[in-house]
Amino acid sequence: MKTLFAFDLDDTLVVSKSEVIVRNSATGTTKTLTPAQFALYEPKPGEKFDFSQFDNLIHPEVIKKNFDLFSQILKKTTGSKNSKTIILTARTPKVEKDVYSLLKAKGLPALKIHAVGSSDPMAKVNVIQKYIDAGYDRVRFYDDSPKNVQAVNAMKKENPGVEITAKLIVSH
């Protein structure tokens, strides 16, 4: 059995002062949302999202309990040929350097970071599906976004025989 452990970085492990800018073309208004607010936000007609602040982690802070869980899993799976741990992030690929620096500062080994550059749950599903297609038959996904957890759990229908567990992590 090959196991994939996947964490969504955005607010599951690290909170940041980065905000999502919401522009409404119909009214001409602009507002900002924290990543936690955006995870639950339902867009209104005419709204477009600007993620330009997410090119860098702005004043990142580790969510201790989630980072401890992540650290334990990473230490257990690093070096095992039957498991792999990855980080998925909606942030652009530019943020990878920041994430690698954070892992190094915390004394954790490097791992594969997938900066998908989108908050669309399907972008994360597509990365996980590639691992399933490469022979991973057990998936453990951890995230603080109900939309992402629901999307990964929905993968069970298209992947019979693959054990998929997606868990919602609440960061409080």
Which of helix, strand or coil describes residue 144? coil
Give me the chain's average pLDDT, please.
Answer: 85
User: Per-residue b/e over 18-28, b at no fewer than 16 CB within 10 Å?
Assistant: bbbebeeeeee
pLDDT band for position 95 (cuts 50, 70, 90): confident
pTM: 0.74
d(CA 79, CA 126): 25
The strand pair at 83-89 and 47-50 is best described as unpaired
